[in-house]
Amino acid sequence: MTEIEIFKQSLDVSRIAMIITVIMTVISVTFSALNLAFQRSHDRKSVKPLCCIDKKKAGRSYSIVVENAGLGPMIIKAVSAIGPDQKTDDLSGYLEGLLDEGQKESIVILATSNLVIPSNGSKTILQIDDGNGIPGKGFEELCQKLDQTRILLNYRDIYDKRYELES
């Protein structure tokens, strides 16, 4: 074997080693990018809020409670009410239409925008206790109207992804 043949053989081995190195690098970068994408997806899902709207009536008490059963905080942006006539209004405006003049002071509506509910937490957004001066028949009619009302909740997670729940 001459020196030129040995040099050519050495050059072929170097080329093969370089091609194998480039292929391994491309495979490594591809798997790293896939791993990063899966990790980001998991991170977003691991802090997703799961909302539940619960209407509770016990005796002369009625409340609407928003519960967060997810792993991340829930940021409520708006609470709307949809009546039997399919008209949508914010919760306080809707309730003002349902109540008589003397009954408006008897209902407590808590803050319904930019309200943060932590993981496994709950907040009451509407509370009527012991009728609060509402006569028995009026209280029952109000509860019946509220039970027929659908609640539309717009909320976000900490990644600012928007969600909407109608109950």
- Number of domain units in the chain: 2
Q: What whole-number distance in Å separates Cα of residue 46 and Cα of residue 40?
A: 10
**Which of 141, 154, 130, 131 minimizes the C-alpha distance to 81?**
154
**Which of 96, 99, 110 minimizes the C-alpha distance to 134?**
99
Residue pair 61/146 in contact by the 8 Å Cβ criterion: no
- Look at residue 103 and tell me whether its pLDDT is greater than 90: no
* 116/161 same-domain check: yes
* 136/150 same-domain check: yes
User: How buried is 96 (Cβ within 10 angstroms: 0-12 exposed, 13-18 middle, 19+ buried)?
Assistant: middle
Q: What whole-number distance in Å separates Cα of residue 128 and Cα of residue 82?
A: 19
* 74/123 same-domain check: yes
CB atoms within 10 A of CB 122: 14
**pTM metric for this prediction:** 0.72
Average pLDDT over residues 1-13: 76
* 116/99 same-domain check: yes
Q: What whole-number distance in Å separates Cα of residue 120 and Cα of residue 102?
A: 37
Which of 20-34, 39-53, 102-116 has the weakest average pLDDT? 102-116
At residue 131 the predicted structure's pLDDT band, cuts being 50, 70 and 90, is low
Over the chain, what is the mean pLDDT?
84
The string of pLDDT tens digits covering residues 63-77 is 899 999 999 999 999
* 151/71 same-domain check: yes
Parent domain of 152: 51-166
